[in-house]
Amino acid sequence: MCGIVGYIGKSNAVPVLIDGLKKLEYRGYDSAGVCIFDGCKLTVTKCKGRLSNLEDKIKDDPISGNLGIGHTRWATHGQPSDVNSHPHTNKDMTIGVVHNGIIENYLKIKEWLMSLGYEFETETDTEVVPHLIDYFYDGDLVQAVMKAVDKLEGSYALGIICKNEPDKIVAVRKDSPLIVGLGKGENFIASDIPAILSYTRDVYLLDNREIAILTKDDIKIITQEGLPVNKEIFHVTWDAQSAEKGGYEHFMIKEIHEQPKAIKDTMTSRIMADCDDIKLDNITLTKEQLKNIDKIYIVACGTAYHAGMVGKYVIEKLARIPVEVDIASEFRYRDPILNEKTLMIVVSQSGETADTLAALKQAKESGSRVIAITNVVGSSVAREADDVLYTWAGPEIAVASTKAYVTQLIAMYIIALYLARLNETITIEEYREIRDEMLTLPEKAQIVLNQKEELQKFAASNYMHKDIYYIGRGLDFAVALEGSLKLKEISYIHSDAYAAGELKHGSIALIEKGIPVIALATQSQVYDKMVSNIKEVVSRGAKVIGFAYEGNCEIEKTVNQTVYIPKTLDILAPVLLVIPLQLLAYYTAVEKGCDVDKPRNLAKSVTVE
Ligand code: M6R
């Protein structure tokens, strides 16, 4: 989703902003722009399309200056166009603003400002902000910003500069992420760490309703009421290279290959061979508290929701606590039953997904306890939850989530085992069996990665299809949903996943001669039933690629092509099974020539509703 970068210092701001915006490209955008103070005036250069268009525009009409703000926009209010691109300014071009989020009451503010004679050029919600600051401005930018944000409803991360006060950037956030980077003789703002990681590793993570005032030598943070805030510096431990492609053609394929390490890192120091304890430093839920919990909600969006579906199966199976899985955007509006007996587990790679964050807040307001599974240290979700279980996947740049998903699965197993041990619903022998098998997953994931040929073959002969279906039962169905999402989001092929036993209740009508069906068959309890379901689609002309455990040659009799994964415990199969599905989606998108890392219409971090 939209990206923000701001710079104040001794260097030319333009290359710093462009470089930072490039690092945020993965978030998804449709236009870009910068606003630069050149020593006497603010100049805005912005346009629709890729950053390269903006670079060409700046080449044709060069600008430079030591103060600037930049933005990549993902359109919400008003179509992607030059005029709707950020930054936006007031009429006399003395105030420049970049914004992430949605100003929900912008129409009311706009009408009011128009009644005072203000004129608007764009269809955006953001344009009210520079005009509102202009309205309140009487020589003190910080005061004007404080008064303006007081009128705003919705979510915002704002970067603001003013021609009359060119010694500062003012930044403020509410429900949309924003960080401040500490440099030497220069300082930065950004919506995400990679944007400024080439310049500094020391950052402040702004909290809701905090205002940062940056000069080149100083950073002051205050509340929206003007009270000083003492913030700890957050030191980023991963380096800029982890956010680079490292020789791979795309981030997505690099991240797929990083999965064995990500799985291992997420387990490290939590579950260990020959140790019967699960060590969860950031989870403080006690046996007594757990006794009081009668229901768990897992709430998330997209891929994280699919990880939640696996979580439901394994928590119910191991810990014997009823679990409901909810899509966050549905959960928040369906009047869910939440109280102090409810435990909510929110799952979010970015930790900034607006709907997930809203569900979390709702749970907390109702007295429920919240555990967050997230990949981003210090993210909003991590800060708002009672307990956090970090996935150690490292930065995930490709819009299509891969390594975050498998580490979310690992986190789910860890939580399920932890709850099961507290609840005494598994024996120590059962725990040891699962633990020992989990510790083999990194190695087995590597074996899966080494067998790509069958998937490349499938992609090469099926990329031209308009529809591809996925079927599975039990945990295989949960993985089928994720495989199908992966394929549709990066290859734009229409795809759906079905619980195989449900096919004959309607969806089998879609099966016709030659249609590719991806059939997942790892779950032993329903294996025979799954084979029958495969036969049902084969007999209606489907071309089936079956996924099963090594050694199960039986399946070859029923399907057209087979992909094997190493044998593991059925409950752990999703970790290995999803990898060939990610590869299959990847190779199919590459065959089609799609923009794999930045699929159309999608954003990496969905910070608006
Ligand atoms: O950052 P989050 O995990 O909260 O994001 C949730 C979804 O937006 C995300 O998983 C999305 O579905 C991905 N594009 C899937 O690949």
Question: Could you read off the pLDDT of 103-131 as tens digits, one per residue?
Answer: 989 999 999 999 999 999 999 999 999 99
- DSSP letter assigned to residue 565: E
Ligand 1 centre distance from Cα of residue 303 (Å)? 5
Among candidate residues 288, 275, 407, the one with its CA nearest the CA of residue 349: 407
Token output for 48: 């629709």
* Distances in whole angstroms, Cα of residue 264 to Cα of each of 204, 258, 468, 479: 29, 10, 32, 20
Token output for 441: 């997953």
Query: At which residue do the structure tokens 């014997």 appear?
Result: 320
Ligand 1 centre distance from Cα of residue 33 (Å)? 26
Do residues 305 and 325 touch, judged by C-beta distance below 8 A? yes
Alpha helices (H) in 195-337, listed in sequence order: 251-257, 259-267, 287-291, 302-319, 328-331
Q: Is 489 in the pocket of ligand 1 (CB under 6 A)?
A: yes
Q: Is 304 in the pocket of ligand 1 (CB under 6 A)?
A: yes
The residues carrying an active-site annotation are 2, 604
Q: Is 380 in the pocket of ligand 1 (CB under 6 A)?
A: no
- DSSP letter assigned to residue 207: P
Ligand 1 centre distance from Cα of residue 174 (Å)? 21
Among candidate residues 101, 106, 108, 153, the one with its CA nearest the CA of residue 130: 106
Q: Is 302 in the pocket of ligand 1 (CB under 6 A)?
A: yes
Residues carrying CATH 3.40.50.10490, the chain: 251-439, 449-592
Cβ-based burial of 437 (10 A; exposed 0-12, middle 13-18, buried ≥19): middle
Distance CA 61, CA 79 (A): 25
Query: What atom of ligand 1 comes closest to residue 381's alpha carbon?
Result: 4
* Distances in whole angstroms, Cα of residue 210 to Cα of each of 165, 221, 265, 504, 567: 20, 7, 33, 55, 51
Q: Is 356 in the pocket of ligand 1 (CB under 6 A)?
A: yes
Among candidate residues 326, 323, 324, 322, the one with its CA nearest the CA of residue 299: 326
Ligand 1 centre distance from Cα of residue 400 (Å)? 7
Residue nearest to atom 14 of ligand 1 (CA): 400
Q: Give the DSSP per-residue string, 33-99.
A: EEEEE-SS-EEEEEEES-HHHHHHHHHHS----SEEEEEEE--SSS-S-TTTSSPEE-TTS-EEEEE
Q: Is 376 in the pocket of ligand 1 (CB under 6 A)?
A: no
Ligand 1 centre distance from Cα of residue 405 (Å)? 9
Q: Is 401 in the pocket of ligand 1 (CB under 6 A)?
A: yes
Q: Is 578 in the pocket of ligand 1 (CB under 6 A)?
A: no
Q: Which of 192, 256, 301, 331 to mutate to test the pocket of ligand 1 (most atoms within 8 A of CB)?
A: 301
Q: Which of 256, 350, 582 to mutate to test the pocket of ligand 1 (most atoms within 8 A of CB)?
A: 350
Q: Is 533 in the pocket of ligand 1 (CB under 6 A)?
A: no
**Total number of residues shown for the chain:** 609
To the nearest 10°, report the CA torsion of 43, 49, 50, 54: -20
Among candidate residues 323, 375, 380, 389, the one with its CA nearest the CA of residue 355: 380
Ligand 1 centre distance from Cα of residue 304 (Å)? 6
Distance CA 100, CA 297 (A): 29
Looking at residue 421, its amino acid is: R
Q: Which of 310, 353, 360 to mutate to test the pocket of ligand 1 (most atoms within 8 A of CB)?
A: 353
CATH fold of the domain at 251-439: Rossmann fold (3.40.50)
The CATH-assigned architecture of domain 3-243 is 4-Layer Sandwich (3.60)
Mention the CATH class of domain 449-592: alpha beta
Q: Which residues of the chain have pLDDT under 50?
A: none
Among candidate residues 118, 52, 124, the one with its CA nearest the CA of residue 83: 124
Ligand 1 centre distance from Cα of residue 1 (Å)? 11
Do residues 174 and 149 touch, judged by C-beta distance below 8 A? yes
Q: Is 353 in the pocket of ligand 1 (CB under 6 A)?
A: yes
Q: Which residues contact 569 (CB under 8 A, 6 or more apart)?
A: 433, 434, 437
Strands (E), 185-261: 187-190, 202-205, 210-214, 219-223, 234-235
Do residues 378 and 577 touch, judged by C-beta distance below 8 A? no
Residues carrying CATH 3.60.20.10, the chain: 3-243
Ligand 1 centre distance from Cα of residue 12 (Å)? 35
Token output for 283: 């989870």
CA 409, 415, 420, 426 dihedral sign is: positive
- Residues facing 548 on adjacent strands: 564
Looking at residue 282, its amino acid is: N
Query: What atom of ligand 1 comes closest to residue 350's alpha carbon?
Result: 1
Distance of CA 280 to the CA centre of its chain: 23
Rg of the Cα atoms in the chain: 25
Give residue 379's pLDDT: 86
